[in-house]
């Protein structure tokens, strides 16, 4: 395991926190658009589903990246 500077780890954690928060907002927006599938609006609903799943996967990869550091 390579040695890293504690300041670098701090800024890396701050960046992951900010990105995770923004991705959570995108996931909430995607979930709201996914609800359009129930009303028959397939284009917006499908796009929302892709946003929701994509943001969720990216958030999980941020957690895995944090555990590796």
The residue that leads in pLDDT, 68 or 42, is 42
Higher pLDDT, 3 or 57: 57
Mean pLDDT for the stretch of residues 20-33:
95
The band of 7, judged by pLDDT with boundaries at 50, 70 and 90, is confident
Tally of domains in the chain: 1
Phi/psi zone of residue 3: left (φ > 0), alpha (ψ -120 to 50 degrees), beta? beta
Give 67's pLDDT tier (boundaries 50, 70, 90): confident
- Range of the structural domain that residue 53 is part of: 26-69
* Helix locations, the chain, DSSP H: 6-34, 42-68
Is 14 within a domain?
no
Orientation of helix 42-68 relative to helix 6-34, angle to 10°:
160
- 62 part of a folded domain: yes
Q: In whole angstroms, give the CA distance from residue 38 to residue 66.
A: 37
Q: Is residue 5 part of a domain?
A: no
Q: 52 lies in a domain?
A: yes
**For the chain, what percent of residues have pLDDT higher than 90?**
71
CB atoms within 10 A of CB 41: 14
Model's pTM, two decimal places? 0.80
């Amino acid at each position: 395991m390579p040695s890293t500077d504690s300041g670098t780890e701090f800024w890396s954690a701050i960046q992951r926190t900010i990105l995770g928060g923004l991705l959570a907002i995108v996931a909430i927006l995607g979930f709201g658009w996914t609800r359009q599938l129930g009303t028959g609006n397939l284009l917006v609903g499908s796009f929302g589903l892709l946003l929701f799943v994509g943001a969720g996967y990216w958030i999980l990869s941020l957690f895995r990246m944090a555990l590796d550091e």
